[in-house]
Amino acid sequence: MGKPAKAGAILFLLWSILHIWVGAEGFRQFLGGVRGQWEMLLGGANAPKVAFQHTADALTANVHAHLLGNFVLDVGGYGVLGLFIAWGIWKRGSWTS
């Protein structure tokens, strides 16, 4: 296995760690309420935090919380999948990974 494959495995590992962190932090925010979930995901020129209006309706907030919770857990799941890909490249030199 060459250096480019090892570099690719390391990059997949880094990508995986970041995605697992999003899943874990998103779940932690889910336990704290929907406002924290949105604060985690908002920002930038296209979605500034100060322009976003949080809902006052409890049902809508509940739907938002569960939708965002599902999203971040999916992101974390892809991070776990990335760990297997990084392992397959690093240990086995597998092109199918």
Considering its fold, how many domains does the chain have in total? 1
Residues in contact with 94: Cβ distance below 8 Å, sequence separation at least 6, in sequence order: 88
Would residue 24 count as lying in a domain?
A: yes
Q: How confident is the model at residue 5 (pLDDT cuts 50, 70, 90)?
A: confident
pLDDT single digits (tens) 23-49: 999 999 999 889 899 988 888 888 888
What 3 state SS string does 24-77 have? HHHHHHHHHCHHHHHHHHCCCCCCCHHHCCCCCCHHHHHHHHHHHHHHHHHHHH
Would residue 56 count as lying in a domain?
A: yes
Would residue 97 count as lying in a domain?
A: no
Would residue 47 count as lying in a domain?
A: yes
Q: Which domain holds residue 9?
A: 3-92
Task: Name the nearest CA neighbour of 54 among 44, 45, 64.
Answer: 64
Which amino acid, one-letter code, is at 78?
Answer: Y
Would residue 39 count as lying in a domain?
A: yes
What global pTM score does this model have? 0.83
